[in-house]
Chains A and B, each alone.
Chain A
Amino acid sequence: MTDRKSTFLQGARDISPILAGVMPFGLICGAVGVSEGMPEWATSMMSVIVFAGASQLAAIQLMSENASIAVVILTGLIINARFFMYSASIGPHFKGVPPLQKAGLAYLLTDGGYAVSVAHYLRSDTDNVNKVWYYLGTNVVIWVGYVASTVLGAYVGAVIPPEWRLDFAVPLTFTAVVMPAIVDRPMVLAALVSGGMAVAASSLPYNLGLMVGAVSGMVIGYLAERRLANA
């Protein structure tokens, strides 16, 4: 039991710097909803039910433009298509966990929690129970930080002056979590191709440039690995 608790706390500790990026983003998500005419409770509730900032911002934007319900929902979902990839990538680490508990783990899945957990699994050889507790430690911290900051953003406003540019902490935290995951040359290539393609395809709607970049990187990495193996 203490073992699980310490694993949970380790995950929580490892992820905590990410709050520097998550909380300013949450404040913005909360403040934007209210400024577009959504009641404070509704903006806050949205963070708990949807728990995906980019989708929430897109949905609020489209709702304020009176887009049809179907368009709003579809856009919100396509923006989060990358979670299919995280789910497939982290799924094998949760083998044997009962479906209902898996549902809880899935609800909490975030970019940062996923990346930090997978990097941790690579470094330490641990069983699936400990993997679950570490994962919970990372994502519960993000959940609390994100939901609390959207509520604060909704009721108080975006308290942090935009001149501080703390929104930039988001790509910085992702940089910090991705670097340890890039361990060999095919991965370097995958990362470069993915970033380049995402920029080249950035004009695509629904955030699809992200998926174009991610899929290109994945395929190129795999091909490079096969080429190296055959050489």
Chain B
Amino acid sequence: MLDMSTYWPVVLGIGVGVFLIRYSFILIIDKVTLPEMVQRMLRYIPASVLPALIVPAVLLHKEGGVTTFAGWDQLAAGLIAVLVAWKTRNMLATIAAGMVVLWVVQIFL
């Protein structure tokens, strides 16, 4: 069972640390001018960070340190979500389409 004597050091350590990570550039951006190259790269952050979150979550299943293919149901749902998001730009429609495909395809697996 979990040792609660480490609770406050851990929670305050991560809490303050994560806050400072979030605060970092938001705070200093008034004071510093980033090089042109970096500013151009920043434009690619949404298109780079989110796919790095999405694709492994759709394709991979991790359990006990072993990584396997998550299954055709998740792949199909992910592809439909891309299509619906692209065509409709509607978050609710994307979630609904993806979840329905996930549930329907898993019946046939």
Contact = CB atoms under 8 A, between A and B. Distances in A.
Interface residues on A, range: 35 or more
A92 B43 CA distance: 11
A114 B26 CA distance: 12
B35 to A, nearest CB: 12
Contact of B42 (A89, A166, A168, A198): A89
A46 B11 contact: yes
A202 interface: yes
Contact of A222 (B4, B14, B40, B56): B40
B109 interface: no
Contact of A199 (B2, B22, B28, B55): B55
A178 B46 contact: yes
B37 A76 contact: no
User: Is chain A's interface secondary structure helix, strand, loop, or mixed overall?
Assistant: helix
Interface of A: 14, 17-18, 20-21, 36-39, 42, 45-46, 49-52, 55, 59-60, 63-64, 66, 69, 72-73, 76-77, 80-92, 94-96, 99, 102-103, 105-107, 109, 111, 114-115, 118-119, 165-166, 168-182, 186-188, 190-192, 194-199, 202-203, 209-219, 221-222, 225
Interface of B: 1-4, 6-7, 9-15, 17-19, 21-30, 34, 37, 40-60, 62, 67, 74, 77-78, 81-82, 85-86, 89-92, 94-95, 98-99, 102-103, 106
5 contacts: A38-B2, A50-B15, A106-B26, A168-B74, A214-B48
